Amino acid sequence: MSAHATATSVEIGIRPLRSAPAAPGLGAEVTGVDLRAIDDATFAAIHRAWIDRQVLLFRGQTLTDPDLAAFSRRFGDLDMAPIQENGRAIGSGMPEIYVVSNVIENGVPIGSLGHGEAVWHTDMSYLSSPPKASMLYALEIPPAGGDTSFADMYAAFDALPDSLRERALGLKVKHDGTYNSGGFVRQGVTPTDDPREAPGMMHPLVCTHPESGRRMLYLGRRKMAWLEGFGLAESDALLDEIWTHATAKQLVWTHEWRVGDLVLWDNRCTMHRRDPFDATARRIMHRTQVKGAAPPAA
């Protein structure tokens, strides 16, 4: 069953996805759109659906890197891709494209994040101005595994017990810049065990989404996180409690990839993770990230 979102003169197909029971608003498939050729009215409908549904899936796309970058730029200027684990700044020929891949060519990994689990995170939140959106385009996928899950951070905030919700308001959390989601140390960083000394950025734990006006948890990554002003043990205990609520199965939608899928997500109000897959299988995904600003405290 499809619903439709309208923007002045166009309609795009919006199909709700089999979603997380406690996050029924999370995720939608947009049908009938070729992302290489969209007009302003179609873009406006897509943008509104993205704000409403947080994660959008577009199947059957045929995109070059310039096509992917051009669609991404509809949302705003692009951030350069993070430096790859192998030290290369450019994976695909365009500095805006982050290559997520386990493939090794001539002894050199062509991308980042390997074949293991990529843990729950939101992209590049260790920066002062993290990207508001990311999009990931599937070029090659493994026969099994490598699914990507999304958790709804509006629903996560709502799911907190009243006392925890009150406690979370006004706190700030350190978003660590030492490790990427694949567990690899970022280029140029010397790891420390103390999150207070690690590179990264403090952000409010509960934020208001600047476009939807809704309150959400903004967590970043669990590893090396720290609540400002807390002792390490007290911070870990409170963060563990919050993370248990934030990543509960009922809040999560999981995407099984097909080649030609593009998934667009809102980094401010979702987190994502990736399942591991067979190291001998090939997975090649190209990602862009749209510049944003740190979401304001609620």
Residue type, 120: W
Per CB under 6 A, 203 contacts ligand SIN: no
Which of 84, 178, 181, 288 contacts ligand SIN by CB under 6 A?
A: 181
- Number of continuous H segments (helices) and E segments (strands) in the chain: 5, 20
Closest distance between ligand SIN and the C-beta of residue 223, in Å? 14
DSSP tag of 142: -
Q: Whole-number minimum distance, CB 20 to ligand SIN, in Å? A: 17
Span between the terminal Cα atoms of the chain, in Å: 36
Q: Which of 287, 288, 292, 294 binds ligand SIN (CB under 6 A)?
A: 287
Cβ contact 98:82 at 8 Å: yes
Under rule CB under 6 A, residue 285 binds ligand SIN: yes
Q: Is 272 in the site for ligand SIN (CB under 6 A)?
A: yes
Site residues for ligand SIN, 124-143, by CB under 6 A, read 134, 136
Asked if 148 is part of the footprint of ligand SIN (rule: CB under 6 A), the reply reads: yes
**Torsion from C-alpha of 165, 168, 170, 176, nearest 10 degrees:** -150
In terms of CB distance, is 120 or 226 closer to ligand SIN?
120
Residue among 112 and 235 whose Cβ is closer to ligand SIN = 112
What's 49-93 look like in SS3? HHHHHCEEEECCCCCCHHHHHHHHHCCCCECCCCCCCCCCCCCCC
**Is position 100 an interface residue for ligand SIN (rule: CB under 6 A)?**
yes
Shortest separation between residue 272's beta carbon and ligand SIN, angstroms:
6
The residue with tokens 């959008």 is: 56
Distance between CA 211 and CA 191 in Å, rounded? Answer: 36
106 - beta bridge partners?
Answer: none
Size of the site for ligand SIN (CB under 6 A): 12
Q: Identify which of residues 123 and 152 has a Cβ nearer to ligand SIN in the complex.
A: 123
Residue type, 236: D
270 binds ligand SIN (CB under 6 A): no
Q: Which residues bind ligand SIN (CB under 6 A)?
A: 100, 113, 118, 123, 134, 136, 148, 181, 272, 274, 285, 287
